[in-house]
Amino acid sequence: MRGSVGSIAAVLGIGVVAWGAPEAAHARPVAPVVVEVYATATLAPGERDAAWRAGRAALATASIASRWCEGAREGDADGCASAPGRRLIVRIADAGTASTAPGRLGYALVDPVARGGTLATVFADRVREAAAAARADGGRLLGLAIAHEIGHLLLGTNAHVERGLMRPVWLSEEIRRDAPGDWMWTAGLPAAMRRGLERSAGQGRLAGEPVQ
């Protein structure tokens, strides 16, 4: 499979890029995102709800509407399977003994040629460890980590920025401080993400199509 990996780490990260394009005063509406979550890690109901709220809110600040639903659910009782929009797949798993870089909280598979992707993975156990070390809300931090990886998918790059939600390293002191600026999209990113949504129209899996 052609592609590259964009990731976030609690202790180590590389690949910093500057985004300088100013944000438009009034964002043009784009197709919503349907975030289909497949969790093999055990999540408490409150943890899952907090994660979805935080992830949805983060995307909303980029003027991107999103609908979150559980994957592998029988039928379409909640209407999510048939919801219109760009469908992204997020796996929530425990890293365990996985051969990933120590401290990595997750990663996104990005096709550098198509400049996009549809699949991201976030490690629930590592997010919990990072939250516990910082005495922070683990569910909220999980949602922010998911939003970070979705950012990679929509931006179509594994590069990071120096500040804000798309920075490569989340230090415990930053998580504990919880400064609003540490969880915002820096200038130019929201517009670039919306352009990514427009560019990906017709690519990837759309709502209602089965997973192969």
Strand order in the sheet with 104-111: 4-9, 104-111, 116-123, 86-93, 33-39, 66-70
Amino acid type, 89: I
b vs e for 5-43, b when ≥16 Cβ sit within 10 Å of the residue's Cβ? ebbbbbeebeeeeebeeebeeeeeebbbbbbbbebebeb
pLDDT at 14: 33
The label of the residue with tokens 């003994």 reads: 97
String of DSSP letters for 42-59: ---HHHHHHHHHHHHHHH
pLDDT in tens, the chain (212 residues): 333 445 565 643 333 444 444 444 355 656 789 999 999 999 988 999 999 999 999 999 999 999 999 886 665 656 677 778 889 999 999 998 666 777 899 999 999 888 889 999 999 999 999 999 999 999 999 999 999 999 999 999 999 999 999 999 999 999 999 999 999 999 999 999 999 988 776 544 433 333 32
Euclidean distance between CA atoms 83 and 141, whole angstroms: 26
pLDDT of residue 185: 97
Does the pTM surpass 0.85? The reply is no
